[in-house]
Chain A
Amino acid sequence: MAMAEACKADMLYVSRIMAEVGSDGINFDTTASTGDAEFLAVLETVEELAATTDLAIEVGMAAEFVLGFHGQLEYKGKRLAGMWPHQQVKVVEEAGAHLFGPVVNTNTRKSVPWNVARAVTIVKECSRVAHIPIHANVGNGVGGVPMFEVTPADALTRASAAMVEIGRVDGL
């Protein structure tokens, strides 16, 4: 947990300078890539920034599932380990963020339709329960997009349109 405290101090340091110079907002990208302790550090940082600055805050995730390297960590009574996007968005909302970026990683052993269908299904539920705008991650290897250096436009545009029309996201 000492690392989570250090992580929080670093995020606050950078964010406060961004706020001081008049930035519109800040995006915490690939949140929880190192698990539940990092997710907790981000949520506490968001809570403090939302209360003390005029930054618009986005929390973008690293994967669809929060890994529980600690396992028992909670935010306002909710265990973070094992949370899926429709649960993640609720704690992010509670922390005071303005935007949430759900992520569904692409399974490279499966087809594009399989991955788009899985990503859209998970994001659709997240969007349904959300009260803040949802900006799904539809980049390289996430959101149904294949993992490839030069992304095939036909695959990418199908994932992009499906995420908006079926997933009901507010942005990408």
Chain B
Amino acid sequence: MGAGDPYGMSISHSLASGMGGIRTTGDLVARMQLRKKMRLPQAKQYVADKLKVGLDDLADSTVMRGLRQELDIGVITAVPGARKGIEAKRNIAELLDVEVPCLKRL
């Protein structure tokens, strides 16, 4: 699926097989695939270990909403005082122990 695909396709995919992105831990798991070439089970286990949660919690938006707020790694809505954008990325980089290229350009 890409930018050239029909509008609405991403929503169907998200509901059928998505992890939930920043609502849960989809962004963190994807980052481990991108930076460390981890396959899905390995990436999920890595993120679960770093967050000190079970694998089932990774796609639970209620659990992750609270935990993401606590760790200050960005949530789906604007929360006063909470990190967002590149500030949240810095916390994610520290939490997952990975490099985020744009942080090195600051």
Q: Show the binding face of A for B, using Cβ within 8 Å.
A: 19, 21-25, 29, 54-56, 60, 98-99, 130-133, 137-140, 148-151, 153, 156-158, 160-161, 163-164, 169-172
Closest to A158 in B: B16
Could you say which residues of chain A place their CB within 8 Å of the CB of B39?
130-133, 170
Chain A nearest CB from B93 CB (Å) reads 11
Contact of B13 among A54, A60, A131, A138 (CB under 8 A): A138
Q: Given A98-B37, A151-B9, list of 14 further CB < 8 A pairs?
A: A22-B102, A23-B102, A25-B34, A99-B33, A131-B39, A133-B38, A137-B2, A138-B13, A148-B6, A150-B6, A157-B16, A158-B16, A160-B16, A172-B1
Could you say which residues of chain B place their CB within 8 Å of the CB of A54?
99, 101, 104
B77 at the A interface (CB under 8 A): no
Q: Show the binding face of B for A, using Cβ within 8 Å.
A: 1-2, 4-6, 8-9, 12-13, 15-17, 30-31, 33-35, 37-40, 43, 99-105
Pairwise interchain contact A151-B6, C-beta atoms closer than 8 A: yes
Pairwise interchain contact A55-B12, C-beta atoms closer than 8 A: no
Could you say which residues of chain A place their CB within 8 Å of the CB of B40?
133, 169-171
Chain B nearest CB from A88 CB (Å) reads 16
Could you say which residues of chain A place their CB within 8 Å of the CB of B100?
24
10 interchain pairs, CB-CB under 8 A: A22-B101, A98-B37, A99-B33, A132-B37, A137-B2, A138-B1, A151-B6, A151-B9, A156-B12, A160-B12
The prevalent SS among residues of B at the interface is helix
Could you say which residues of chain B place their CB within 8 Å of the CB of A25?
34
Contact of A171 among B6, B16, B33, B35 (CB under 8 A): B33
Contact of B1 among A19, A133, A139, A164 (CB under 8 A): A139
Chain B nearest CB from A160 CB (Å) reads 4
Closest to A155 in B: B12
Could you say which residues of chain A place their CB within 8 Å of the CB of B6?
140, 148-151
Pairwise interchain contact B34-A140, C-beta atoms closer than 8 A: no
Chain A nearest CB from B7 CB (Å) reads 9
Could you say which residues of chain A place their CB within 8 Å of the CB of B104?
22, 54
Pairwise interchain contact B4-A139, C-beta atoms closer than 8 A: yes
Could you say which residues of chain A place their CB within 8 Å of the CB of B16?
156-158, 160-161
The prevalent SS among residues of A at the interface is loop
Could you say which residues of chain B place their CB within 8 Å of the CB of A153?
12
Q: Known: A22-B101, A149-B6. Is A157-B12 also a contact (CB below 8 A)?
A: yes
Could you say which residues of chain B place their CB within 8 Å of the CB of A139?
1-2, 4-5, 9
Pairwise interchain contact A151-B12, C-beta atoms closer than 8 A: yes
